[in-house]
Amino acid sequence: MTIKSIWLRKIHKWVGLIIGLQFLIWTISGAAMALLPMDEVAGGEMAEVPNPSVPPGGTAWRAIQKQLGDQPVSGLSFRALTQGLAIELTTPQGVRLFDAGDGQPIVIDAGAARSIAAAAHPSQAPVTGVEPLKEISLPVREHQLPIWRVDFRDQANSTYYVSGTTGQVLERRNDSWRWWDFFWMLHNMDYAKRTSFNHPLIIMVGFAMAWLAVTGFWLLFRTMWRHDFAWAKRRR
């Protein structure tokens, strides 16, 4: 065996150790995610807010038109909030909410976010805190500000995130989701945003596995083949 083969075997051994540890992490994290109940990871049951009927008449719409002025409306829908029925309009300036009864603007403040989240919680657990997010955090990494964070005192340590624009419950996070997200981070090796399978680190690991396979075959035929079949030569 040449000096070059000796060094290649040493490098192959240490790269194989690192890749082997990563395979172990993939196995453990994948098994953990499979064992966690997905209904609990998704937030569990959610209470249904009754849909109030659309009020008759055009008083609300005339009041809304006065406030919009010449702004074009590209989308209209009705949304059931704890305050009652709301009209959600999409304009060039963004989404706006109006009361379907009198046409007055609806502001999703701390009190509104608290009542919306509390109404969505299936067991009516007590709210322990309401605060606005100052920046996008991991639990709501796919959404945009403004967002209210509402914490509950329940067995799952639930946290609901309410949109400060539409009043929609964007995400329902709990301990099961936090564990799942931790193992997901280990599985896809995206330790920052936890969303991508195409980041440089996992690509580098992929090339390392390919190199490990190629050098492994080369070392097999270069340094091990003769010893493995030495018994055949002795029988001759």
pLDDT in tens, 75-117: 888 888 887 888 888 888 888 899 888 888 999 999 999 999 9
The count of other CB atoms within 10 Å of the CB of residue 68 is 15
CA atoms of 132 and 151, how far apart (whole Å): 12
| pLDDT at residue 155 in the model | 92
Pick the closest to residue 144 from 122, 181, 116, 170 (CA basis). Answer: 170
Reported as a pLDDT band with limits 50, 70 and 90, residue 202 is: confident
Mean pLDDT, to the nearest integer, of 153-178?
Answer: 95
**Contact criterion met (CB below 8 Å) for 228 and 218:** no
Residue 56: pLDDT over 60: no
Residue 225: pLDDT over 70: no
Residue 28: pLDDT over 90: yes
**Does residue 29 form part of some domain?**
yes
Q: Which domain holds residue 220?
A: 3-37+183-227
More confident residue, 133 or 221: 133
**Does residue 172 form part of some domain?**
no
Residue 11: pLDDT over 90: no
Mean pLDDT, to the nearest integer, of 178-201?
Answer: 90
Number of domains in the chain: 1
